[in-house]
Amino acid sequence: MIFTSSTRDIPDASEMPRHVAIIMDGNGRWAKKRFLPRIAGHKRGVESVRSMVKACIDRGVEYLTVFAFSSENWRRPEDEVSFLMKLFISVLEAEIGKLNENGVRLKVVGDLSRFEPHLVELIQRGEALTAGNDRLTLTVAANYGGRWDIVQAVNRLSAEHPERAGNYVEADLAPYLSMAYAPEPDLFIRTGGEERISNFLLWQLAYTELYFTEQLWPAFDAAALDAAIASYRGRERRFGRTSQQLERPGSPAANDA
Ligand code: IPE
Ligand code: IPE
Ligand code: MG
């Protein structure tokens, strides 16, 4: 399935975001406030992912994408990185069956080559088991970087189509990006108070509505998601057009947009 590109066409903007992408930040600070080790925050953060999956299904959100580990997170202390890898493994082991029962399709995007074989195998098994599900597509971005994604796409495109090198257009690259199976995110949420993209979906966020909240990820719940969706509903998604064009949807200018 080919999805509308926000820069080449005007995507349908429905009341409920079809795709929500989240930077789950603030686990360490959540733990610190409770005099707990940072890893306790990561553990608790998994609960928030679980509740977000349910909340998205209940609300009819079709795609939920969560940033679990960035290509820059390897710079963290070794023991924290190794805890995060173990946590990823244990969560996959415990949750894949339940995700499948709930009709969730699991996808993992990122450079898997740095992960240990057991983790890669679990990811592949989980993706294969849930491939036919269509209630919600849950994408976990792990060892993901927006720049990595664009570079790997360019490399694959140029290897497959060397004859067009020098003349590539957006539509040529799009199918090689790691989230080509999903529409572009409608709503981006970053918890934890920082207002930056941190090398998340650089290409795909071109026209996404951005929402930043001070809430720390382990404390982010369904009510917090509803607040983000309410903010999203108040936005005017113009995709380059003027407000007047949106007010008169039948007008010729809006039609040619
Ligand atoms: C986000 O929480 C989780 C990961 C990056 C893995 P942090 O660990 O960044 O928490 P803070 O930002 O230090 O509070
Ligand atoms: C972004 O959080 C990455 C994830 C949530 C996985 P960070 O906490 O690593 O981001 P920076 O370093 O503060 O930008
Ligand atoms: Mg952080």
Active-site entry in 12, 27, 58, 73: 73
For 164, phi then psi, to 5°, come to -100, 5
**Amino acid (1-letter code) at residue 76:** R
- pLDDT tens digits for 119-178? 999 999 999 999 999 999 999 999 999 999 999 999 999 999 999 999 999 999 999 999
Q: Is 73 a residue of the active site?
A: yes
**Among 53, 71, 73, which Cα is nearest to 63's?**
53
Query: Residues of 143-158 as b/e, b for ≥16 C-beta within 10 angstroms?
Result: bbbbebbbeebbeebb
The residue with tokens 């999203």 is 232
Q: pLDDT band at 9, cuts 50/70/90?
A: confident
Q: Say how many Å lie between the CA of residue 218 and the centre of ligand 1.
A: 10
Whether pTM > 0.85 for this model: the answer is yes
**Amino acid (1-letter code) at residue 168:** Y
Give DSSP secondary structure letters for the chain.
-PPPPTTTS-----SS-SEEEEE---HHHHHHHTT--HHHHHHHHHHHHHHHHHHHHHHT--EEEEEEEETTGGGS-HHHHHHHHHHHHHHHHHHHHHHHHTTEEEEEES-GGGS-HHHHHHHHHHHHHHTT--SEEEEEEEEE-HHHHHHHHHHHHHHH-GGGTT---HHHHGGGSTTTTSPPPSEEEE-SS----TTSSTTTTTTPEEEE-SS-GGG--HHHHHHHHHHHHT----TT--HHHHH-TTSHHHHH-
Identify which has the larger pLDDT, 207 or 251: 207
For 20, phi then psi, to 5°, come to -110, 130
- Please say whether the beta carbons of 46 and 34 come within 8 A: no
126 within ligand 1 shell (Cβ under 6 A): no
Q: Please count the structural domains in the chain.
A: 1
Give the CATH number of the domain where residue 229 resides.
Answer: 3.40.1180.10
101 within ligand 2 shell (Cβ under 6 A): no
Give, using CA atoms, the residue closest to atom 12 of ligand 1. 26
Residue 174: which domain range? 19-246
- pLDDT tens digits for 161-170? 999 999 999 9
For residue 218, being part of any structural domain is answered with yes
- The residue-averaged pLDDT of 28-47 equals 98
For residue 3, being part of any structural domain is answered with no
- pLDDT tens digits for 59-117? 999 999 999 999 999 999 999 999 999 999 999 999 999 999 999 999 999 999 999 99
Identify which has the larger pLDDT, 10 or 79: 79
For residue 9, being part of any structural domain is answered with no
198 within ligand 2 shell (Cβ under 6 A): yes
Which pLDDT score is estimated for 254? 45
- Please say whether the beta carbons of 175 and 143 come within 8 A: no
Q: pLDDT band at 251, cuts 50/70/90?
A: low
Q: pLDDT band at 179, cuts 50/70/90?
A: very high
- Please say whether the beta carbons of 215 and 42 come within 8 A: no
For residue 8, being part of any structural domain is answered with no
For residue 251, being part of any structural domain is answered with no
What is d(CA 160, CA 6) in angstroms, rounded to the nearest whole number?
25
Q: Is 25 a residue of the active site?
A: yes
Which pLDDT score is estimated for 11? 81
145 within ligand 2 shell (Cβ under 6 A): no
Which pLDDT score is estimated for 248? 76
